[in-house]
Amino acid sequence: MSELTRPIAEEARNGHRPRVVIVGGGFAGIHAARGLANLPVDVTVVDRRNHHLFQPLLYQVALAVLSPADIAQPIRSILRRQANAQVLMDEVVELDVAQRRVRLGSGAQLDYDYLVLATGATHSYFGHNDWEPYAPGLKTVEDAIEIRRRVLLAFELAERHMVEHGWHPPLNFVVIGGGATGVELAGAVSDIAQLYMRHDFRHIDPTKSRVLLIEGSPRVLGAYPPDLSAQAEATLHRLGVEVRTSTHVTVVGPGWVEAGGERIEAVVTLWAAGVQASPLGQMLGCPLDRRGCVVVDDRLNPPGVPEVFVLGDLAHLEQDGRQIPGVAQPAMQMGDHIARILAADLAGQPRPAFRYFDKGDMATIGRMAAVAKVEWPFKAHLTGMPAWLTWIVIHIFFLIGFRNRFSVFWNWVWTYFTFTRGARLITGDQHLPGWNHLEIQVDESDRGR
Amino acid sequence: MSELTRPIAEEARNGHRPRVVIVGGGFAGIHAARGLANLPVDVTVVDRRNHHLFQPLLYQVALAVLSPADIAQPIRSILRRQANAQVLMDEVVELDVAQRRVRLGSGAQLDYDYLVLATGATHSYFGHNDWEPYAPGLKTVEDAIEIRRRVLLAFELAERHMVEHGWHPPLNFVVIGGGATGVELAGAVSDIAQLYMRHDFRHIDPTKSRVLLIEGSPRVLGAYPPDLSAQAEATLHRLGVEVRTSTHVTVVGPGWVEAGGERIEAVVTLWAAGVQASPLGQMLGCPLDRRGCVVVDDRLNPPGVPEVFVLGDLAHLEQDGRQIPGVAQPAMQMGDHIARILAADLAGQPRPAFRYFDKGDMATIGRMAAVAKVEWPFKAHLTGMPAWLTWIVIHIFFLIGFRNRFSVFWNWVWTYFTFTRGARLITGDQHLPGWNHLEIQVDESDRGR
B395-425 in b/e form (b: 16+ CB < 10 A) is: beeebbbebbbbbbbbbbebbeeeebbbbbb
Where does a domain end: A347, A372, A392?
A347
Query: CA dihedral defined by A199, B51, A366, B426, rounded to 10 degrees?
Result: 180
Please, which residues bridge with residue B212 across strands? B174, B242
Give the domain extent around B186.
Answer: 129-273+368-440
Inspect the interface and report whether the beta carbons of A410 and B410 lie closer than 8 Å.
yes
Inspect the interface and report whether the beta carbons of A145 and B403 lie closer than 8 Å.
no
pLDDT of residue B138 exceeding 60, the answer is yes
Q: Show the DSSP H helices in B354-432 as ranges.
A: 384-398, 402-418
Inspect the interface and report whether the beta carbons of A145 and B427 lie closer than 8 Å.
yes
Q: Could you give the ipTM of this predicted complex?
A: 0.91
Q: What is the pTM of this model?
A: 0.93
Mutate to test the interface with B, among A106, A112, A149, A151 (most CBs of B within 10 A): A106
Q: Is B427 an 8 Å CB contact of chain A?
A: yes
User: Which CATH number belongs to the domain containing residue A373 in this structure?
Assistant: 3.50.50.100
Higher-scoring residue by pLDDT: A438, B18: B18
Do residues A382 and A371 make contact, with C-beta atoms less than 8 angstroms apart? yes
For the stretch A272-287, pLDDT in tens is: 998 899 999 999 999 9
- Would you please indicate which residues of B are annotated as catalytic (active-site) residues? 184
For the stretch A87-96, pLDDT in tens is: 999 999 999 9
Residues A284 and A209 in one domain: no
- Can you give the pLDDT at residue A441? 52
For the stretch B4-33, pLDDT in tens is: 777 888 888 888 899 999 999 999 999 999
Residues B136 and B241 in one domain: yes
Helical pair B180-191 and B226-238, crossing angle rounded to 10 deg: 20
Domain for residue B279, yes or no? yes
- Can you give the pLDDT at residue B221? 97
Inspect the interface and report whether the beta carbons of B108 and A160 lie closer than 8 Å.
yes
Under the banding of pLDDT at 50, 70 and 90, the label for residue A297 is very high
- Can you give the pLDDT at residue B421? 56
Average pLDDT over residues B243-265: 96
Q: Is A104 an 8 Å CB contact of chain B?
A: yes
Where does a domain end: A347, A382, A409?
A347
Residues B246 and B373 in one domain: yes
Q: Is B16 an 8 Å CB contact of chain A?
A: no
Helix (H, G, I), strand (E, B) or coil at A172: strand
- Can you give the pLDDT at residue A239? 94
Under the banding of pLDDT at 50, 70 and 90, the label for residue A162 is very high
Inspect the interface and report whether the beta carbons of B420 and A77 lie closer than 8 Å.
yes
Mean pLDDT score of chain A:
91
Inspect the interface and report whether the beta carbons of A420 and B68 lie closer than 8 Å.
no
Strand B262-265's sheet: what is its strand order? B249-253, B256-259, B262-265
In this complex, the residue of B49, B160, B411 whose CB is nearest that of residue A108 is B160
Cα–chain center distance at B424 = 21
Higher-scoring residue by pLDDT: A449, A97: A97
Under the banding of pLDDT at 50, 70 and 90, the label for residue B169 is very high
Residues A36 and A168 in one domain: no
Residues B335 and B401 in one domain: no
Under the banding of pLDDT at 50, 70 and 90, the label for residue B444 is very low
Please, which residues bridge with residue B74 across strands? B51
Domain for residue B35, yes or no? yes
Residues B279 and B319 in one domain: yes
User: Which CATH number belongs to the domain containing residue A76 in this structure?
Assistant: 3.50.50.60
Strand B109-111's sheet: what is its strand order? B92-96, B101-104, B109-111
Residues B247 and B320 in one domain: no
Domain count, chain B: 2
Domain for residue A353, yes or no? no
For the stretch B310-353, pLDDT in tens is: 999 999 999 999 999 999 999 999 999 999 999 999 999 999 99
- Can you give the pLDDT at residue B446? 45
Q: What length is written for chain B? A: 449
Mean pLDDT score of chain B:
91
Residues A403 and A258 in one domain: yes
Domain for residue B425, yes or no? yes
Cα–chain center distance at B423 = 20
Q: Show the DSSP H helices in A246-325 as ranges.
A: 280-284
In this complex, the residue of B51, B152, B411 whose CB is nearest that of residue A50 is B152
CB-count burial class (<10 Å; 0-12, 13-18, 19+) for A341? buried
Most confident of A51-55, B365-369, B414-418: A51-55
Among A299, A219, A315, A214, residue whose Cα is nearest residue A263: A214
Among B308, B290, B334, B301, residue whose Cα is nearest residue B92: B308
pLDDT of residue B391 exceeding 90, the answer is no
Do residues B341 and B116 make contact, with C-beta atoms less than 8 angstroms apart? no
- Can you give the pLDDT at residue B298? 97
Helix (H, G, I), strand (E, B) or coil at A14: coil
For the stretch A200-214, pLDDT in tens is: 999 999 999 999 999
Residues A237 and A386 in one domain: yes
Inspect the interface and report whether the beta carbons of A67 and B72 lie closer than 8 Å.
no
* Distance to chain A for B10, nearest Cα, Å: 28
Q: How far is A266 from A411, CA to CA, in rounded Å? A: 30
Residues A32 and A142 in one domain: no
Residues of A in contact with B54 (CB under 8 A): none
Residues B262 and B282 in one domain: no
Domain for residue B63, yes or no? no
Domain for residue B446, yes or no? no
Q: How far is B172 from B250, CA to CA, in rounded Å? A: 18
Residues B282 and B342 in one domain: yes
* Distance to chain B for A88, nearest Cα, Å: 6
pLDDT of residue A186 exceeding 90, the answer is yes
Q: How far is B174 from B193, CA to CA, in rounded Å? A: 13
Under the banding of pLDDT at 50, 70 and 90, the label for residue A443 is very low
Helix (H, G, I), strand (E, B) or coil at B321: coil
**Dihedral class, residue A406 (left if φ above 0, else alpha if ψ from -120 to 50, else beta):** alpha
Domain for residue A298, yes or no? yes
- Can you give the pLDDT at residue B14? 87
Most confident of A62-66, A394-398, B70-74, B314-318: B314-318
For the stretch A401-413, pLDDT in tens is: 666 777 777 777 7
Q: In one letter, which amino acid is A241?
A: V
pLDDT of residue B3 exceeding 50, the answer is yes
pLDDT of residue A419 exceeding 70, the answer is no
- Percent of chain B past pLDDT 70, that is, above it, reads 94
Q: Is B83 an 8 Å CB contact of chain A?
A: no
Do residues A313 and A320 make contact, with C-beta atoms less than 8 angstroms apart? no
Where does a domain end: A298, A318, A347?
A347
Under the banding of pLDDT at 50, 70 and 90, the label for residue A107 is confident
Which of B145-149, B238-242, B394-398 is the least confident region? B394-398
Q: Is B423 an 8 Å CB contact of chain A?
A: yes
- Percent of chain A past pLDDT 70, that is, above it, reads 94
Residues of B in contact with A163 (CB under 8 A): 88, 108
Please, which residues bridge with residue B172 across strands? B210
Point out the catalytic residue in the list A10, A156, A184, A233: A184
In this complex, the residue of A142, A159, A425 whose CB is nearest that of residue B51 is A425
Domain for residue B146, yes or no? yes
Q: How far is A276 from A48, CA to CA, in rounded Å? A: 18
